[in-house]
Structure 1
Amino acid sequence: MIKLQSLIGLPVIDINTGNRVGKVRDIWFDEHWLLTGIVLEARRWISSDVQAIHWDNVIACGEDAVLISDTQAVVSLKAEDIIRCFHTGRIKLKDLPVITVEGLQLGRVTDVYFDQNKGTLIVGYELTDGFISDLREGRKWLRISDYPDEVALGEDTILVPVRAEQDLEHTTGP
């Protein structure tokens, strides 16, 4: 599994030439919160266009780089076309509250886990209750792939079944 935040800041390399085409700025999702692509850091300050790479063109995500099929995979999109991202865009996944259907908040999203080999589905969330709680107890990990039809990922909150509270696992500190 890959933690989404570990990709941010990595160089993006064309697998055919070895040339660097940019650096990962953010990860972009579609309206169903499926991984759609990578947003690259802007090269020009004035442009309203965003350089992005559709996820289909990502060959591998390693510790030190993201490899893409070729330079032609980089496309220009209007910023308003990229609505859902991890930490930029109009709708942000980072810091969304995760709440059970009975109204209990389990924490806020600090990171997202996905399995590159299994497609573009989010498989889990790393949650926080705040800095002090993270230091004392560690962050929490919720495997949402256990509830494929019971998670409602909205624009303002993520709703999960009541039993998700018992399934939370603690990780190490921040």
Structure 2
Amino acid sequence: MVIVMLRISEIIGYPVICSDTGKKEGEVKDVLIDLNSKKLSALIIDCGNILHKIKIIQFNDIFCIEKKFIKAKYKKNLISKKKFMGSRDFYKKVDEIIGKEVVSEKGALIGFVQDILFKNNDGMILGLVLTNGFLDDIFSGIQIIPVDKSIDLSSSKILLSEKMKNTILNNIGGLKKFLELE
């Protein structure tokens, strides 16, 4: 398997195909993140057309994440929400992290979480993609914060130490870089 860095927004809507049946069993609707290990824990799958049944597949039960689809090991690995083991305190849905403010220790606004980068082979979160608004993103580019153990994703705001603030990857793309204005 080729290890690839993906954005969570890319896999939302991906069909989930089970290896044992060869059939599409549903589509990814959301992702659960383990806040302690900073890894993707499970995918929330919408199964069905008219009656939307929600199933969960733990990240360990995913065979591979390819371009445009996710392959699960077995259909039996798609479990009901009730059977999903784990404390709800340690898991957050991605939509509970997207949009959070990222501020420095001194209280300065750095940006808002727009997306989350992860490795497709183990679900390890690599970084947070920040936005400062559509126009600023077009002109200045985006910022990416590498995620380490010091970043707390469970609080209402994400607080960055001055040390972490220096690790931000700035100006990824944008007209400033393209026009070489910096």
On whether the aligned pair clears a TM of 0.5, the verdict is yes
Structure 2 partner of 1:51: 55
Moved more, 160-169 or 13-22: 160-169
In 2, the alpha carbon distance for the partners of 1:11 and 1:158 equals 32
Structure 2 partner of 1:3: 7
What pairs with 1:48-127 in structure 2 (closer than 5 Å)? 50-78=54-82, 84-87=92-95, 92-117=96-121, 119-127=122-130
In 2, the alpha carbon distance for the partners of 1:136 and 1:142 equals 19
Contact 2:44/2:54 (CA < 8 Å) preserved in 1? Answer: yes
| Corresponding letter in the other structure for 1:140 | Q
| Corresponding letter in the other structure for 1:56 | N
Distance change >3 Å, CA 54–CA 105, structure 1 → 2: same
Cα deviations across residues 111-152 of structure 1 (Å, max 9, x unaligned)? 1011133x33311011001111112112111112xxx33212
Shift in Å at residue 45 of structure 1? Answer: 7.2
Decide which of 21, 35, 43 is 2:40's aligned counterpart.
35
Structure 2 partner of 1:172: 173
Q: Max radius of gyration: which structure?
A: 2
Structure 1 partner of 2:160: 160
Distance change >3 Å, CA 62–CA 43, structure 1 → 2: same
Query: How many residues are matched?
Result: 164
List runs of 5+ in structure 2 lacking aligned partners.
175-182
Does the residue aligned with 1:25 lie in a helix, a strand or coil?
strand
Does the residue aligned with 2:81 lie in a helix, a strand or coil?
strand
Does the residue aligned with 1:152 lie in a helix, a strand or coil?
coil
| Corresponding letter in the other structure for 2:40 | L
Shift in Å at residue 44 of structure 1? Answer: 7.3
Shift in Å at residue 104 of structure 1? Answer: 2.2
TM-score for both structures, normalised by structure 1: 0.82
Cα deviations across residues 30-89 of structure 1 (Å, max 9, x unaligned)? 342431100012537777x7311111101111111001101111111149x5961112xx
Structure 1 partner of 2:144: 141
In 1, the alpha carbon distance for the partners of 2:21 and 2:54 equals 23
Contact 1:3/1:114 (CA < 8 Å) preserved in 2? Answer: yes
TM-score for both structures, normalised by structure 2: 0.79
Shift in Å at residue 13 of structure 1? Answer: 0.5
Contact 2:103/2:160 (CA < 8 Å) preserved in 1? Answer: yes
Contact 1:94/1:109 (CA < 8 Å) preserved in 2? Answer: yes
Cα deviations across residues 76-115 of structure 1 (Å, max 9, x unaligned)? 1149x5961112xxxx011111222232221111110111
In 2, the alpha carbon distance for the partners of 1:76 and 1:140 equals 37
Does the residue aligned with 1:167 lie in a helix, a strand or coil?
coil
In 1, the alpha carbon distance for the partners of 2:155 and 2:123 equals 19
Shift in Å at residue 18 of structure 1? Answer: 1.5
